[in-house]
């Protein structure tokens, strides 16, 4: 069965589109990426998303952006189908995560636990001619979960092993891990967000250097750690909260980052980038120490996401966890940039067959639920 998975995460770098073939056989799901591409947002669209996330957009803006993104996602789908030499008729469904505008996964005074991803599925279904599954997070929240992380189900199918204790760790805007016990069941999964990955580094690069990200971590490499800034950030209460837990732009986005940069504006810009990069590596190390290694000795970590291109960050992580075997998902046949979109294609596969795919031990939901809405053409 052929499908298209679409993901655009917290980094706003673009839409990851993957044309995926999924077959079920006696060994489980066989998943093959046939074509993939990260398609950048236009500057205008990116600004409108930023305004929405930064609470500068009104209801009319959001209404329009929902349909605008539907159109942008449709173009990504049509592009990837063509790249894979297929036609719309070959594709059974699209699994579209949508662009998260806001996510309230944990109780917050004055607000309902809720989630909002834009990119209307009716627009996608009409513009592509393919049934479209969207709104993957709502059902889990309605069932008492945090609506995140959802990828652990796919991580389990793709990476669980009879003999190896593994962590599947994505370094997108946010850093999140899925712990897969050797010979474990989905109900054994521990999964949570450790905190920021690229999100604060990107924001600082934008503000201080007018560049989108720290390529290969070269700025961080040239800077020094400021201990006052590092200690203040490490004392953020999120890092001590017990899993299940998830975070996003709401906590570590522009507001928090700008505030830190302003308070420590006497530092050299490169030292700020270095310290933000240290925060990522140190908070990851501590997350493993506090919440994982106390109960399970992990054999290897398989990293994915754009953060794997930050060589300096990966080297820091490796240095802080010398006993750990560190790999990139590409070594297992899954391109680091495709992993999240493939994961949503897998979640869509289950939804398409009316099967649940949340992992209650990861989201805190009271029960397994079928994720997402299917919009027919």
Ligand X SMILES: Nc1ncnc2c1ncn2[C@@H]1O[C@H](COP(=O)(O)OP(=O)(O)O)[C@@H](O)[C@H]1O
Site residues, Mg ion (CB under 5 A): 9, 11, 13
Q: Between 120 and 202, whose beta carbon lies closer to Mg ion?
A: 202
Q: Which is nearer to ligand X, 103 or 184 (CB)?
A: 103
Query: Considering the rule CB under 6 A, would residue 215 count as an interface residue with ligand X?
Result: yes
Q: Least distance from C-beta 173 to ligand X, angstroms? A: 3
Contact letters for ligand X, residues 108-127 (x by CB under 6 A): --------------------
- Pairwise CA distance, residues 316 & 277, whole Å: 9
Residue 93 — φ and ψ, nearest 5°?
A: -160, 160
Considering beta carbons, is residue 155 or 214 the nearer one to ligand X? 214
Residues 199, 253 contacting (CB under 8 angstroms): yes
Which lies closer to ligand X via its Cβ, residue 114 or residue 206?
A: 206
Please tell me whether residue 178 binds ligand X under the rule CB under 6 A: no
175 binds ligand X (CB under 6 A): no
Q: Contact with ligand X (CB under 6 A): which of 310, 358, 363, 375? A: 310
211 binding ligand X? (CB under 6 A) = no
Which of 131/270 has CB closer to ligand X?
Answer: 270
Quote the least distance from Cβ 8 to Mg ion, whole Å: 6
Query: Judged by CB under 6 A, does residue 9 bind ligand X?
Result: yes
First-to-last C-alpha distance (Å) of the chain: 18
Choices 89-97, 302-310, 317-325, 354-362 (CB under 6 A): range interacting with ligand X: 302-310
Determine if 307 is a binding residue for ligand X (CB under 6 A).
yes
Q: Which residue, 239, 242, 241, is CA-closest to 279?
A: 239
Q: Which does 325 bind (CB under 5 to 8 A by kind): Mg ion, ligand X, none?
A: none
Candidate residues 37, 68, 120, 202; the one interacting with ligand X per rule CB under 6 A:
202
The yes or no reply on residue 350 touching ligand X (CB under 6 A) is no
Q: Name which of 312 and 352 has its Cβ closer to ligand X.
A: 312
Q: Which residues contribute to the site for ligand X (CB under 6 A)?
A: 9-11, 13, 172-173, 198, 202, 213-216, 305-307, 309-310, 340
């Amino acid at each position: 069965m052929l499908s298209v998975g679409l993901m655009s995460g917290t980094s706003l770098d673009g839409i990851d589109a993957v044309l995926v073939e999924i077959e079920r056989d006696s060994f489980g799901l066989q998943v093959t990426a046939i074509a993939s591409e990260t398609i950048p947002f236009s500057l205008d669209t990116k600004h409108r998303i930023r305004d929405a996330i930064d609470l500068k957009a009104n209801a009319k803006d959001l209404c329009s952006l929902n349909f605008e993104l539907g159109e942008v996602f449709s173009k990504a789908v049509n592009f990837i189908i063509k790249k894979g030499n297929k036609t719309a008729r070959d594709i059974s469904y699209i699994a579209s995560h949508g662009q998260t505008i806001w996510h309230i996964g944990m109780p917050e005074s004055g607000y309902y636990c809720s989630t909002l991803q834009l990119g209307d599925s009716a627009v996608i279904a009409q513009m592509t001619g393919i049934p479209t599954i969207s709104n993957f997070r709502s059902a889990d929240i309605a069932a008492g979960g945090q609506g995140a992380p959802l990828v652990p189900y796919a991580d389990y199918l793709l990476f669980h092993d009879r003999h190896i204790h593994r962590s599947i760790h994505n370094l997108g805007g946010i850093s999140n891990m899925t712990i897969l016990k050797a010979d474990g069941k989905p109900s054994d999964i521990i999964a949570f967000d450790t905190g920021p990955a690229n999100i604060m580094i990107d924001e600082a690069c934008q503000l201080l250097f007018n560049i989108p990200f720290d390529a290969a971590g070269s700025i961080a490499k040239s800077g020094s750690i400021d201990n006052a800034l590092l200690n203040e950030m490490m004392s953020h209460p999120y890092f001590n909260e017990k899993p299940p837990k998830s975070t996003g732009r709401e906590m570590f986005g522009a507001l928090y980052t700008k505030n830190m940069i302003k308070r420590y504006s006497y530092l050299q810009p490169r030292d700020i980038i270095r310290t933000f990069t240290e925060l990522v590596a140190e908070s990851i190390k501590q997350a493993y120490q506090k919440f994982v290694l106390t109960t399970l000795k992990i054999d290897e970590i398989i990293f994915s996401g754009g953060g794997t291109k930050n060589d300096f960050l990966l080297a820091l992580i490796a240095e802080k966890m010398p006993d750990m075997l560190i790999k990139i998902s590409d070594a297992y046949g899954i391109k680091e940039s495709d992993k999240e979109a493939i994961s949503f294609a897998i979640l869509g596969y289950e939804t398409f067959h009316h099967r649940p795919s949340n992992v209650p031990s990861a989201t805190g939901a009271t029960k397994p639920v079928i994720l997402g809405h299917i919009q027919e053409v």
